[in-house]
Amino acid sequence: MTAMPGKMGGAQAQILLAGQMSVGTRVCGVTLSDLDRALWNDRTLVKAWCMRRTMFLLPSSELALFVRGSALRAEREVRWVLSKGVPARELERLVEEVLQALNAPITQTALAREVGKSLGLRVTYGRGGGWGGRRRIPHIRVGPLALPSTYLLHLAGARGVYCSGPNAGTESTFVRADKWVPHWKDVNQREAERELVIRYLGAYGPASASDFATWTGMTARDAKRVWSSAEGEMAEVDVEGESGMVLWEDLSELSSASLDGPTVKLLPFFDSFLLGHRSHRNIVGPAEHRRVYRQAGWVSPVLLVNGRAAGVWSHVRKGRGLKIAIRPFARLPNRIASMAYEEAGELGRFLGCTNVATELP
């Protein structure tokens, strides 16, 4: 169970339940309660910012690999702050204080206050919180900039490794990995970058360096350099007239792979499978693209049939009841429709719902 997020290149968890559902649809028999225990009790899973500076569920034993491997994305934030006139020495001191403050689970509000007090920097309040957040959060005045508390964490991601801790009331907490992860082991950044390419191709190949740049959020230049570090592990293949790279070790299996029968999955919001490539032509056609990849970065829950988007779906959970509405792009064959009902029942089992009502035209 805990290994699966690593094999899939991380389960995107900006919405935690969506990340958990991504794991649930891939691991037979697992429940939401199992994943909660792995996160907050056993600590064999963690939630952390890494690729694209987005939250992912990851095996705790592989946290360093994903964070260090994608640290060049966080480094972009460092370069931006420096470009605004903040002295490098002052910035590094700020990051060091943030990482020190993360020696125990701490909220963003408490983090900003503690770092501001330690460095004698002014703390103000303004809107922020990331991805359309409008609530008022603390900002620290550093030179000409007022940096929101979330941004302090993104800067720290270029230098250290931390993850989410348990909520403190309604607020999230964050904690340094060496203080949270059992048997913590760090990884050299260059080593982690090379391994990240290998993990990416294992989950998303065939793919290109451009795809890898989109997936990690790195600049094209940074992504190309990291990509080249693993070129000895790659084989070039042709897919319908377009070239891409796969791992040499996967080439034989991929060349001979075939489906035993139809495969039907209900993928949740932002499922990682939907976000692995620059283009989405392998998943959905132009006519239905906007129903899956919506405005403001939203990615719909998808009915996936043999690796292609065949519809979208939604759910409402109330107590032990679950209502699922599936909206196919075209009429489904009876066998596929029956398998979609079975998937809906599996989602209910995963969520611990005893009464599942599925609507499928």
User: What tens digit of pLDDT does each residue of 181-223 get?
Assistant: 999 999 999 999 999 999 999 999 999 999 999 999 999 999 9
Q: What is the pLDDT of residue 239?
A: 87
Please, which pLDDT band fits residue 134 given cuts at 50, 70 and 90? low
In a domain, 57, yes or no: no
* Residue 332, both tokens: 């489904």
What are the beta bridge partners of residue 171? 168
Q: What is the pLDDT of residue 260?
A: 86
Q: What is the pLDDT of residue 133?
A: 57
User: What tens digit of pLDDT does each residue of 286-312 get?
Assistant: 999 999 999 989 999 999 999 999 999
In a domain, 292, yes or no: yes
Residue where a domain terminates, one of 257, 288, 314: 257
Same domain, yes or no: 273 and 247:
no
User: Angle, to 10 degrees, between the axis of helix 189-204 and the axis of helix 71-83?
Assistant: 120
306, amino acid identity: N
Same domain, yes or no: 170 and 219:
no
Same domain, yes or no: 304 and 242:
no
Same domain, yes or no: 135 and 200:
no
Q: Is residue 111 within 8 Å of residue 174, measured between CB atoms?
A: yes
In a domain, 60, yes or no: no
- Domain housing 272: 264-359
In a domain, 12, yes or no: no
The candidate with the shortest Cα–Cα distance to 163, out of 191, 182, 188, 190, is: 182
In a domain, 310, yes or no: yes
CATH code of the domain covering residue 196: 1.10.10
In a domain, 90, yes or no: yes
Same domain, yes or no: 197 and 150:
no
Q: What is the pLDDT of residue 241?
A: 86
Please, which pLDDT band fits residue 123 given cuts at 50, 70 and 90? very high
Q: What is the pLDDT of residue 131?
A: 55
Same domain, yes or no: 251 and 270:
no
DSSP readout, 263-325? -EEEE-TT-GGGGSSS--TTT--GGGHHHHB-GGG-B--EEEETTEEEEEEEEEEETTEEEEE
Number of domains in the chain: 3
Residue where a domain terminates, one of 225, 240, 257: 257
Residue where a domain terminates, one of 214, 236, 257: 257
The candidate with the shortest Cα–Cα distance to 205, out of 254, 158, 172, is: 254
CA dihedral 275, 298, 177, 119 (to 10 degrees): 130
Same domain, yes or no: 251 and 269:
no
Mean pLDDT of all residues in 49-72? 98
User: What tens digit of pLDDT does each residue of 136-178 get?
Assistant: 889 999 999 999 999 999 999 999 999 999 999 999 999 999 9
In a domain, 112, yes or no: yes
The strand pair at 321-328 and 355-359 is best described as: parallel
In a domain, 7, yes or no: no
Whose structure tokens read 């403050």? 101
